[in-house]
Structure 1
Amino acid sequence: MNAPAPFTFSHATHRVIFGAGCLQQLPGIASQERRRRALVVIDEFFLDGPLQGRLAELLGDVSPTFHGVPRHEPDTDTVEAARVALVDSDADLVIAVGGGSAMDTAKAARMAASNPGPIDDIVGPVGVFMLPHPSLFVCVPTTAGTGSEVSESAVIAKVGTDYKMVLRSAEMSARIALLDPELSVTAPASVTAASGYDAMTHAVEAFTSRVSGPMTDPFARSAMRLLAEGLPVACREPDDIAARAACLV
């Protein structure tokens, strides 16, 4: 299959950059935005591995600190640990690398840092007022599933309860999302399939929603087609960049 063409989609102050190898743009982004210190919130799976080494090299000019996020769903403890790492690092650039857990943790940690007090105070599925965090926020997904890199919400479990809290604010969304399909080739077939089904579910929901319309239907149709073509190939042939790209975009 043919890979979707690389693109940059800009809307107001937000950008989505898609294409194989686009991770290489990180140093230019940091320089252009005049950032001096980075915190990388990353899935623990990648710690001390090739991806961390590559990020350390790319971000050498902004003295990156790496904070690992456990593989389980983000909870109030993981958010607090990331908040402490953010405050201690004095970072003005936050980069979330990994799946939905890493990205949601980084989103919530930034808001917890700029809105002191119990995290319950900024919980609300329809959104509540949140003070913005001054850091530049960049998301780099390594799986194709949650879409957290372009959403303005995060779901956080409350430790010691069965309660999941929804945080929602435009201040939470990433200013820049880097969609590099090369980063997903190491995902096992089980993770590729599960995250792909998650993405397909989002696309079907968008298409069948009671509030769907001419602005959302083309995106939903395109997503369903790309996933139907790319997901089986990505599961069988993990190094197929075209299939990985189809799933990610």
Structure 2
Amino acid sequence: MADEDEEDGWNRGRQVEDDSSLEDGSRGQRKQRLRWNQRSRRIEWEDDEMSVDESDMSECEAEEAETSWQVVSGSRWKKIAIGSLMIAAACSVVAVILYSEDCTSDLCHKYWAPFQGNCYYFSQSALSWEDSRQNCISQGSELLVILNKQEQEFVAEFNLSRAFWIGIKDSPLESAWMWVDGTFVQEDLMFWGPGNPDSFFDYQLEAFKNCVLLRRGAWANAVCSTPHHWICKRRSEPVPIKL
């Protein structure tokens, strides 16, 4: 008989507990549960530690939870930072492969020579002065403009057996030599070779010698339509990242 009473009590307890659980789920405020008291043969309430909600957490527990979240969050950002550095390093390696191997603070594309923050392209083929300039422009550069003696010495040392067009042309209206950037050639920055500029007219080609070549390290005027090698110049590009 006692066993039947106990079983009936448990059944009633489960039914009440199930009903209270539904109510607890809808309101989210129950913090106790029902149990069968063997001694008193009655259903009683007891604290349900598993149903304690977040609002009843102690200050210490809340701090521990916050610290745990900060650790997880910090670890996540650390992984993101490491990943970003790895991507930057990979980009730097690619830049070294694509650009010149000169160890300077600037980068130049392959086949371009770096010097004082600029890049210089010495052509392998020959074109007229005007076509040479258009080739430079198509590469995002300009036909060489020399700004100082050091720059003149740098380009003069390259392949002395060839003649290269540079960005100087005679201006008929001004009767003066002008750079392609629109400035006049200064007298203290003229590097003419012996006997140059010579006669401004080539009787064999029946044309004026209004353009300037760099030949054997010095300047010489020549007919603009004749094909020669050329030198392009543009600003160098900064290194993406320094490892």
TM-score range relative to shorter protein = under 0.3
Judging by fraction of residues, say which structure has more strand. Answer: 2
TM-score by length of 2: 0.23
**TM-score normalised according to structure 1 size:** 0.22
Query: Greater helix share, 1 or 2?
Result: 1
